[in-house]
């Protein structure tokens, strides 16, 4: 009987130790994975900024030149509402707004929407999503050129009723077997343009401020918390 009790205690201690070790390993793995995911997301976002407004179209430090955006019930964002400002010869040439399409098929779709100061779309890029591979993931530029269909669009071009997918009477293509995803992106871009129009004066005023001095470029690697070889040289 004593031997049985001793065996039970040993088993319990063994299970407890295993649980502690396993729990600790999972916690460490999650922390490391989370940090890596955040780093990769930051690099993807930085890369997308230069795809929307390439370096040839601005001469300022785009990644460092940001302005706060007016609060809004229209625009869905993550955290603080800020926009990047692209400048040529000190004058603002365009802005990039970080927004969220909250009604994707599999959850939030994070986007960057570039607009000029008249509210015309310069470009749109998806920075993160959980849409179905082979269907909804065609919102990514590397999977299809669908996302470029926003280039040159504006409120009124098409008319507001046209800002949806063709299945719902709009001008934007849907995907075979996936309508929810493109419809969510189209609606989010439309809301970004509505937001920009409603707040145009305030945004223009903030964009026209004198940018603060920048002592060195901020690369996609640097924004992700890494140090580039160039910075070491």
pLDDT band at residue 228 using 50, 70 and 90 as cut-offs: very low
pLDDT digits (tens, 9 = 90+) for 141-159: 999 999 999 999 999 999 9
Given a cut of 50, whether residue 39 has pLDDT beyond it is yes
Rounded to the nearest integer, the mean pLDDT of the chain is 81
DSSP 174-208: PBTTB-HHHHHHHHHHHHHHHHHHHTHHHHHHHHT
Give CA–CA dist 140/113, Å, rounded: 14
Give the pLDDT of residue 105: 95
Among 35-39, 45-49, 128-132, 168-172, the minimum mean pLDDT is found in 35-39
| pLDDT for position 134 | 92
Of 13 and 133, more confident: 133
- Nearest-angstrom CA–CA distance, 77 and 68: 12
Q: Is the pLDDT of residue 27 over 60?
A: no
- Both tokens of residue 81? 């509402």
Average pLDDT for 208-220: 53
pLDDT band at 37 (very low <50, low <70, confident <90, very high): very low
| pLDDT above 80 for 53 | yes
- The residue with greater pLDDT, 8 or 118, is 118
Answer whether the bond into residue 158 is a cis peptide, omega within 30°.
yes
Q: Does residue 31 come out as left (phi exceeding 0), alpha (psi in the -120 to 50 range) or beta?
A: alpha
pLDDT: is 31 or 8 the higher one?
8
Does pLDDT of 206 surpass 60? yes
- Report the predicted TM-score, pTM, of the whole model to 2 decimal places: 0.75
Q: Return phi, psi of residue 60, to 5°.
A: -105, 175
Confidence at residue 188, expressed as pLDDT on a 0 to 100 scale: 97
Query: Cα dihedral angle (6, 12, 13, 17), rounded to 10 degrees?
Result: 160
Nearest CA among 105, 99, 76 for reference residue 174 = 105
């Amino acid at each position: 009987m004593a031997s049985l009790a001793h065996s039970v205690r040993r088993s319990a201690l063994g299970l407890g130790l295993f649980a502690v070790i396993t729990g600790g390993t999972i916690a460490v793995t999650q922390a490391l994975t989370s940090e890596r995911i955040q780093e990769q997301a930051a690099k993807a976002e930085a890369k997308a900024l230069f795809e929307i407004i390439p370096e040839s179209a601005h001469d300022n430090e785009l990644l460092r030149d940001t302005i706060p955006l007016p609060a809004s019930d229209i625009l869905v964002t993550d955290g603080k509402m800020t926009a990047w400002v692209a400048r040529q010869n000190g004058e603002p040439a365009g802005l990039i707004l970080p927004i969220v399409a909250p009604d994707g098929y599999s959850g939030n779709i994070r986007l960057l929407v570039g607009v000029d100061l008249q509210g015309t779309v310069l470009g749109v890029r998806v920075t993160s999503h959980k849409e179905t591979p082979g269907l909804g993931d065609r919102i990514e530029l590397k999977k299809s050129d669908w996302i470029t269909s926003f280039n040159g669009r504006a409120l009124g071009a098409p008319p507001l009723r046209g800002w949806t997918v063709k299945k719902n009477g709009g001008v934007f293509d849907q995907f075979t077997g996936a309508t929810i995803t493109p419809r969510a992106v189209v609606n989010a871009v439309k809301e970004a343009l509505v937001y920009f129009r409603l707040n145009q004066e305030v945004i223009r005023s903030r964009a026209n401020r004198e940018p603060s001095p920048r002592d060195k470029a901020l690369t996609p690697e640097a924004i992700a918390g890494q140090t580039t070889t160039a910075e070491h040289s």
